[in-house]
Amino acid sequence: MKKPVLLCVDDDPQVLSAIDRDLRQEFRRDYRVLRASSGREALATIQELKEREEPLALILADQRMPDLEGVEVLTQARQLYPDAKRVLLTAYADTEAAIRAINSARLDHYLMKPWDPPQQLLYPTLHDLLRAWEMTYKPPFRGVRLIGFQWSPRSHDLKDFLAGYLIGYQWLDFETDSEAQALLAQKGLTARDLPVVVLEDGTALANPTATEVATRIGLVVQASQELYDVVVIGAGPAGLASAVYGASEGLKTLVIERQAPGGQAGTSSRIENYLGFPTGLSGSELAHRAWSQAVRLGAELLAPQEVVDLCVQDGYKVLTLSDGSKVQTRAVVLTTGVSYRTLAAPGMDRLSGVGVYYGAARTEARTCQEQDVYIVGGGNSAGQAAMYLATYARRVYIVIRSANLAASMSAYLIEQIGQTPNIELLPFTEVAEVCGDDHLEEVILSRQGQLERRPARALFVFIGAKPSTEWVCNTIVCDAKGFVLTGRDLVTDPRYATSWKHPRREPYLLETCVPGVFAAGDSRAGAMARVASAVGEGSMAIKFVHQYLDE
């Protein structure tokens, strides 16, 4: 943080130099001393400090100045810095005006000229005032700030994006936060421009895309090389494992992620069964450890960036990105993962992002303080979300269609949920409808045929999974559910036997129907939906990439 400012104002050059000298001598270690030779110059300086969001601790202004008297300077300064200490510097003849100004202009003190020696007549008073200022001063937030409406899908998407990349940010609700309104006005923007991202350097981005924000905070969205040895599509656990092993073994490696590192696992608030972490860790923490490791070893990562097409030209794989650019590579590892299925109930689409969320428990948990929330799903992700939300919400309800969680959730999570008093399981229950005007207000539950209407602050959906392979199914053979077929499945099943075209060998274990294109993780047919198995497959894929490149 920049040092707080002490501003001295006097139109007499000799007096101004003297007060400036004395202030620097005593306070320069902890404060920055600025000077102004007129009242108007002082107000311009104060305005500039405000725009740069620098702290102003004290203003010391001479009373008799030709353009603007000291009392008027201090009065106007109070509008911009109401907490800064205001001291009037006055001659003996002006003491009456100074005393009146203590009441009328709310001055904190006045000092007489001359103040020699300063050790007795200046420093003690200023030290007392500055100690009082320090006790109440709240340093401004230094980092990214997001201004928006709480019930706005665009605001939610940007919160989710920033959280996914572990970008520390301050959320400011425009409707309830006066600081948000003042900051927006300061940037010359209105409510029509929301959501607005204010960067650390003060730059304001009105209604930006995730790519625009990514570019400004230092993420890479364009490939730097013309040709790569291997491109990994997706930065979940499988993709990051491929990136770590590919880069560490000398392959020119590129990872392309369309959302945030970690995939579905990255949204997990607590993973407690991953090898080597006895106290558990969050999915985002695991993802960013792996992300940092891959970058340190030499992998290049593009995010957020999306691959929309894959084709083969002269043995090279050509990937087309959503912005129209192309990337060439010798081999590809598909680790596109899965996404949560949508819940088919009236009102779900209309209220998505404004009380209804797919995943995103960590992003919205703090807004659920002392409110009732509902979770749909009985898998580990749902259980981890319930435990995390229970820290904030008044009550967490887990809605499942079956009798209990035993068939779909790990035993350790079931035990933790059972020991958490504000989590309640609702078996044999479905969400029949969600209701609300501009945001979720109620859920209608169907419990063994009986409808029940309940107030709700948020509904988090963690049901099933569908592979994120729509864009590649025309090139790569997938099963009826969209999962990518690999290895022996391509040659033993007569339905797909003709899809494998390599004349001299069978496909490697994780190889798709296109030689040199491999699949790993949850989007692969037959994969186990566990973080550890995804990491294992991602690592194995690089072994087969080496074998393919050595042919």
pLDDT along the chain (551 residues), means of 10: 88 92 93 93 93 89 86 88 88 65 72 86 91 85 89 91 87 89 90 93 91 90 93 95 96 94 79 83 86 94 93 93 94 92 92 89 84 93 91 94 91 93 95 94 92 94 87 91 91 81 88 95 90 94 96 85
At residue 291, the pLDDT reads: 92
Classify domain 227-339+466-549 at the CATH topology level: FAD/NAD(P)-binding domain (3.50.50)
Nearest to 76, CA basis, from 41, 109, 100, 110: 41
Per-residue tokens: 337: 């993962």
Residue labelled with tokens 């320090």:
134
Sheet holding 395-399, edge to edge: 356-358, 458-461, 372-376, 395-399, 423-426
Distance of CA 379 to the CA centre of its chain: 25
Q: Cβ neighbours of residue 521 under 8 Å, at least 6 residues apart?
A: 234, 236, 237, 238, 239, 263, 335, 336, 337, 527, 534, 537, 538
Fold designation for 144-216: Glutaredoxin (3.40.30)
CB 67 within 8 A of CB 101: no
Work out whether the CA dihedral 420, 426, 427, 432 comes out positive or negative.
Answer: negative
Q: How many CB atoms lie within 10 A of CB 12?
A: 14
Distance of CA 287 to the CA centre of its chain: 14
Q: What is the pLDDT of residue 44?
A: 94
Rounded (10°) angle between helices 95-104 and 70-80: 20
Q: Confirm if 271 and 280 have CB atoms less than 8 A apart.
A: yes
Write the DSSP assignment of 191-224 as a string of letters.
GGG-SEEE-TTS-EEES--HHHHHHHTT---S--
Q: Quick check: do 144-216 and 356-461 share a fold?
A: no
Does the pTM of the predicted model rise above 0.95?
no
- 5-136 has which fold? Rossmann fold (3.40.50)
Task: Give the span between the Cα atoms of 258 and 415, in whole angstroms.
Answer: 35
Q: Which two tokens stand for residue 128?
A: 């007392």
Q: What is the pLDDT of residue 143?
A: 85
Element (H, E) at 338: strand 338-339
| pLDDT, position 275 | 85
Q: Is the peptide bond before 304 cis (omega within 30 degrees of 0)?
A: yes
CA gap 252, 299 in Å, rounded: 7
pLDDT at 145: 93
Sheet holding 429-435, edge to edge: 429-435, 442-447, 450-455
Q: Kindly state the DSSP code that residue 403 receives in the 8-state scheme.
A: S
Compute the distance between CA of residue 472 and CA of residue 332 in angstroms, rounded to an integer.
Answer: 12
Reference 358, options 375, 371, 337, 379; nearest CA is 375
Q: Verify cis geometry, omega within 30 degrees of 0, for the bond prior to 55.
A: no
Instruction: Name the residue type at position 387.
Output: M
Q: How many residues does the chain have?
A: 551
Tell me the H-state helices in 253-321: 283-296
551, 337 Cβ separation under 8 angstroms:
no
Domain 356-461 sits in CATH 3.50.50.60: yes
**What local confidence, expressed as pLDDT, does residue 200 receive?**
86
Tokens at 251, concatenated: 């392959």
Three-state DSSP class for residue 444: strand
- Pair of tokens at residue 517: 């294109």
Q: What is the dihedral of CA 73, 77, 82, 83, to 10 degrees?
A: -80
The structure tokens 């009146």 sit at: 100
Look-up of token digits 């807004």:
367
Tokens of 448: 């063994």
Is residue 517 classed as helix, strand or coil in its secondary structure?
A: strand
Peptide bond into 195 cis (omega under 30): yes
Which of 90, 75, 4 has the alpha carbon at shortest distance from 42?
A: 75
Bridge partners, 36 (sequence order): 9
Q: Tokens at residue 389, please?
A: 């939300």
Paired with 109 in beta bridges are: 87
3-state secondary structure 139-160: CCCCCEEEEECCCCHHHHHHHH
Structure tokens at 355: 């009380």
Predicted pLDDT of residue 94 = 61
Residue with structure tokens 């580990």?
Answer: 380
Residue-range domain boundaries for the chain? 5-136, 144-216, 227-339+466-549, 356-461
| Coil, helix or strand at residue 346 | coil
- Three-class SS of residue 430? strand
- Other CB atoms within 10 Å distance of the CB of residue 479: 16
